[in-house]
Amino acid sequence: IARNFSNSSAMQSAIKNITVIGGGLMGSGIAQVSAQAGQNVTLVDLSPEVLAKSQKSIGANLGRVAKKVYKDKPQEGEKFVAESMARIKTSTDPAAAAKSADLVVEAIVENMGVKHKLFQQLDAVAPEHTIFASNTSSLSINEICSVVKRKDRFGGLHFFNPVPVMRLLEVVRGAETSDATYKTMMEWGKAVGKTCITCKDTPGFVVNRLLVPYICEAIRLYERGDASARDIDTAMKLGAGYPMGPLELADYVGLDTNKFILDGWHNKYPDQPLFKPIPLLNKLVSEGKLGVKAGEGFYKYE
Ligand code: CAA
Ligand code: NAD
């Protein structure tokens, strides 16, 4: 956290004005780390009510950062929070917000049709130089950008939850992403405090291609009754050094999200056994047991 709030790092990025579309879990985090790094941010969502919620959560998370970084200097901490918050404007009009953006990062619902509609609209109004990026977890960057003209100025910028804490950024090159766009995306990622890796446009890029099948294998192991949920999680925490066990992580990410990713890949690659549907996962989702956000998944939450 301490590494990604310096104003000077933002000076190295060609990107000064960023528009984040989608102010949910991920979009709020992306807006936060960008503002911490000195960027001017416009955060867009469908309603002022959602945006008020995003701002509240960003304020609280900036407070956590300030408490840690400015431990002995509470006044400086307050200034840091206020200045970072002041860099974040909000809007319910994506087209207007894109007009002043050097970079647009899309973090809306994981649905190809909805993403297509948004990018088509933005492509018509955004300045020539504006780079478009998607934070998609599981969809193809080439498929998302098929509807825009600026395919050379399009790529993937895949962050991890919780964005302010997770230090990785996957920079995804689509088939037509230009060298200049790729370089700008890498520099921007560094400027907002992340360690960037380069990925091709393959399902799940690097992290989710490994993490999702791993989580799914843990669910299958539990489903077969080979071990209890608690023991599976303890095993991977103490035996493999993971901060969370796979079933805790599944609850944290959301079981609906896990199912959505798996189903999408299964439809596209029906012969891949790692992507086969899991009856227990389907059952939990159909019962509304979606994990932490629903109060119950593999575990119960207060
Ligand atoms: N915002 C800001 N700071 C946060 C935060 C948030 N949302 N959540 C936690 N933190 C901070 C805490 O303030 C705390 O800071 P200090 O060390 O300074 O006190 C630090 O992070 C650790 O938090 P906690 O002590 O509350 O809890 P923890 O030690 O158990 O860590 C965790 C929490 C960072 C989430 C850790 O359990 C972890 O790394 N889990 C794995 C997360 C993971 O794998 N994420 C990737 C999911 S997959 C994905 O995102 C891709 C996709 O496309 C689906
Ligand atoms: P979320 O549901 O928390 O937030 C999505 C937000 O987008 C909502 O606030 C919604 O109101 C808004 N939205 C929907 N359609 C919109 C539109 N047309 N215009 C403007 N706003 C719109 O979802 P999230 O978890 O933040 O995920 C967002 C994206 O990030 C998805 O593509 C997801 O796959 C990806 N992602 C998620 C995670 C994760 O762990 N949750 C991690 C990495 C990437």
pLDDT at 102 over 60: yes
Give the Cα separation of 138 and 202 in Å (integer). Answer: 9
C-alpha 248 – ligand 1 centre gap (Å):
12
Q: What percent of the chain has pLDDT over 90?
A: 95
3-state secondary structure of 38: coil
Q: CB under 8 Å to 176, separation ≥6 — which residues? A: 142, 145, 151, 152, 154
Is 208 one of the annotated active-site residues of the chain?
A: yes
Q: Is 264 in the pocket of ligand 2 (CB under 6 A)?
A: no
pLDDT at 7: 45
Q: What is the pLDDT of residues 174-231, one digit of tens each?
A: 999 999 999 999 999 999 999 999 999 999 999 999 999 999 999 999 999 999 999 9
Hunting for tokens 């310096």 — which residue is that?
A: 6
Full set of structural domains in the chain with CATH: 2-200 (3.40.50.720), 207-294 (1.10.1040.10)
Measured from the Cα of 137, ligand 2's closest atom is 34
**DSSP string across 180-234:** HHHHHHHHHHHHTTPEEEEEES-TTTTHHHHHHHHHHHHHHHHHTTSS-HHHHHH
Feature table: binding site: 22-27, 45, 110, 115, 137, 161, 293
Task: Name which residue leads in pLDDT, 209 or 7.
Answer: 209
Q: How confident is the model at residue 5 (pLDDT cuts 50, 70, 90)?
A: low
Contact (CB, 8 A) for 291 and 252? yes
Q: How confident is the model at residue 279 (pLDDT cuts 50, 70, 90)?
A: very high
Overall average pLDDT of the 69-93 stretch? 96
Q: How confident is the model at residue 13 (pLDDT cuts 50, 70, 90)?
A: confident
**Nearest partner of 122 among 38, 19, 222, judged by Cα:** 19
Give the Cα separation of 57 and 25 in Å (integer). Answer: 9
C-alpha 28 – ligand 1 centre gap (Å):
15
pTM of the model: 0.95
Residue nearest to atom 7 of ligand 1 (CA): 162
Give the Cα separation of 128 and 106 in Å (integer). Answer: 18
pLDDT at 249 over 60: yes
pLDDT at 16: 95
Ligand 2 mutation target, pool 45, 104, 165, 252, most atoms within 8 A of CB: 45
Overall average pLDDT of the 116-121 stretch? 98
Q: What is the pLDDT of residues 123-151, one digit of tens each?
A: 999 999 999 999 999 999 999 999 999 99
Distances 140 to 96, 241, 243, 245, 268 between C-alpha atoms, Å: 26, 31, 29, 28, 11
Q: Is 30 in the pocket of ligand 1 (CB under 6 A)?
A: no
- Both tokens of residue 88? 């974040």
Hunting for tokens 């917000």 — which residue is that?
A: 97
Q: Is 141 in the pocket of ligand 2 (CB under 6 A)?
A: no
